[in-house]
Structure 1
Amino acid sequence: MTASSSVQQAREALGKRLREIRKDSGLTARELAARAGWHESKCSRIENGRTGPSDDDLRVWTLHCGAQEQTADLIATARNIDGAYVEWRRLERSGLRRAQESVLPVWERTRHFRAYSSWLIPGPLQTRAYIEALLRAIRDRRALPDDLDEAVQVRVDKQRILHEGPRRFAVLLEESVLRHGIGGATAMAGQLGHLLSIATLPNVSLGVIPLGADRTALWPVEDFWIFDHSQVNVELVSAFLTITQPHEIGMYARTFADLADLAVYGAPARALITAAIDSLG
């Protein structure tokens, strides 16, 4: 199953719903296509989730099936599906700042954050130097418009949520994250020292999964954030994935709990961070 499978499943579920609406109207797929002025295969592609319907497609579908009272809900459902899988090139077409700002609403309303990372220190725990090095590399690799300073400031400003309101943060890092050099030795030393400081906050639980942990049952997975019980965000190589299906959120929650069992906390975690600092020389 690919990381975007939830989007395909949602499209198939919408297609099934549209098939039921068509059948309830007494129309065959060929008859509906003829009335709508479509190629006769279009109904089949939509009903099987191979083609996502546009707003106009849904208006025409419900019009000819006598189900116009469902139009608004169907359009909202389709738009949510389209927004679940967003390619970076679409999200970042005007620069990095927009991508940083796009997640602010969910961050503002969330009270319980769970984050797992196998590659990078998570955003709220990053230093300015680490953020700048990271975003500069993304800008250059993807040849994006240069709004680096603004994007860095948005991410820095977002870190206020660590100190505002009754928010709880549970963060799990693979030990390898502590060794991935971002921004050079000086930036990494500052970042790891900052991590030690953040770990002392009463609303932050920081776990580190040692390199020597037994991974027979559960190996490293893609980086993800769980926001309360309502949403999971996953950063892929090509896209930003938003998961809202309850059963999939449950899968990530169980994976997080299993990963948490592999981690060390408190003094053992601090020892791993300190060892990473020492390795910088």
Structure 2
Amino acid sequence: MTFEPERLGRSKSDLAESLRQLRKRAGLSGDRLARRCAMSQSKISKIETGRVTPSLVDVQRILRTVDAPAELVREITALARMAHTEWQDTRSSWRRGLEKRQAELAALEADARELRYFLPAMITGLLATPEYIRASLSHCPGDVSKTIAGKIERQHVLYDASKSFVFLLTEQAVAWPLLPKPEMAVQLDRLASLSRLPNITLGVVPYEHVIPRGPLNTFTLYDETLATAETFTGRLVFQDARDVDQYREIFAWFTEHAVFGENARDLLAARVESLLRDL
């Protein structure tokens, strides 16, 4: 199934209807299907009416029970994964107001205990100076002052000792010249300072290593239940366990190629020295 963002909103209802039709074709009542799948009848009813989005495991169990043909298994499995995926386009965020997006992110951060950020291109707002935040929003339409304030307010979560953060940046993200050299030096000093907090682990994937894999996009992992991936035109939100696990594996792979602790701070210090050398 080809990914089409506009289909994501319909995938849940399509999935519910497809499963209902398959049950009927198999000549099973909701109660009989429930017993054969070791589910409650009320759960089957909620799945078929779209009130509950079934997990991929639930969908596969139902497909086996109704003896669905291989082609339909592939199609409906793809629907199930799409039903656990949400598309949030950038233009809609602009229309609603980017400050509302900050409130949504703050809620995700408040609920999670372990947060992991893969940053191949730029420094995330949680780690950014006000100057860096403002520069990163320079392409956005309208007044962004509330958004800047929201990003700065969100940074308080870094000091919540009950949470753990892992920030994995490429050296490209560290080196990207979003600001004039003196201000970039301040930004990199902030990274080094935050890396000393006991609940923050900050790693940098350096240029000097051979990395046989490309860092395609920014993504964030919230515990083991949700992953978000950024694109130029929007954000994908994944809740299917297979998708989340794949992002966790990608994060672990890049972690093996990163430097941490004093080695990461030495890299940042060298960058700062380079920025200030010719001033």
What is the aligned partner in structure 2 of residue 132 from structure 1?
A: 134
Amino acid at match of 1:102: E
What is the aligned partner in structure 2 of residue 203 from structure 1?
A: 199
Aligned residues with identical type, % of pairs? 24
Matching of residues 119-268 of structure 1 within 5 Å: 119-135=121-137, 137-139=138-140, 144-146=141-143, 148-216=144-212, 218-268=213-263
Which of these residues, 254, 264, 270, is aligned with residue 275 of structure 1? Answer: 270
Per-residue CA distance 1:30-78 (angstroms, 9 max, x = gap): xxxxxxxxxxxxxxxxxxxxxxxxxxxxxxxxxxxxxx94379515649
Q: CA deviation at 1:125?
A: 0.9
Q: Is the 8 A contact 1:117 1:224 kept in 2?
A: yes
Q: Is the 8 A contact 1:7 1:81 kept in 2?
A: no
Q: CA deviation at 1:8?
A: 6.4
Secondary structure in 2 aligned to 1:113? Answer: strand
Question: Are residues 256 and 149 of structure 1, via their aligned partners in 2, closer, same or farther at CA, if it must alter by over 3 Å?
Answer: same
| Structure 2 gap segments, 5+ residues each | 27-43, 54-78
What is the aligned partner in structure 1 of residue 65 from structure 2?
A: none
Q: CA deviation at 1:14?
A: 5.7
Q: Is the 8 A contact 2:46 2:52 kept in 1?
A: no
Question: Are residues 274 and 14 of structure 1, via their aligned partners in 2, closer, same or farther at CA, if it must alter by over 3 Å?
Answer: same
Q: CA deviation at 1:126?
A: 0.8
| Structure 1 gap segments, 5+ residues each | 28-67
Q: Distance in 2 between the 1:83 and 1:213 partners?
A: 34
Q: CA deviation at 1:265?
A: 1.2
Q: Distance in 2 between the 1:25 and 1:275 partners?
A: 67
Amino acid at match of 2:180: G
Which of these residues, 114, 121, 139, is aligned with residue 112 of structure 1? Answer: 114
Q: Distance in 2 between the 1:25 and 1:72 partners?
A: 11
Q: CA deviation at 1:11?
A: 6.2
Q: CA deviation at 1:122?
A: 1.7
Q: Distance in 1 between the 2:207 and 2:5 partners?
A: 31
Amino acid at match of 2:50: L
Which of these residues, 89, 92, 105, is aligned with residue 91 of structure 2? Answer: 89
Matching of residues 38-53 of structure 1 within 5 Å: none
Amino acid at match of 2:127: L
Q: Distance in 1 between the 2:22 and 2:203 partners?
A: 53
What is the aligned partner in structure 2 of residue 15 from structure 1?
A: 14
Q: Which runs of 4+ in 1 moved over 2 A?
A: 4-17, 22-27, 68-73, 75-78, 80-83
TM-score, structure 1 normalization: 0.74
TM-score, structure 2 normalization: 0.74
Question: Are residues 8 and 247 of structure 1, via their aligned partners in 2, closer, same or farther at CA, if it must alter by over 3 Å?
Answer: farther
Question: Are residues 151 and 279 of structure 1, via their aligned partners in 2, closer, same or farther at CA, if it must alter by over 3 Å?
Answer: same
Matching of residues 29-108 of structure 1 within 5 Å: 69-70=45-46, 74-75=50-51, 77=53, 81=83, 84-108=86-110
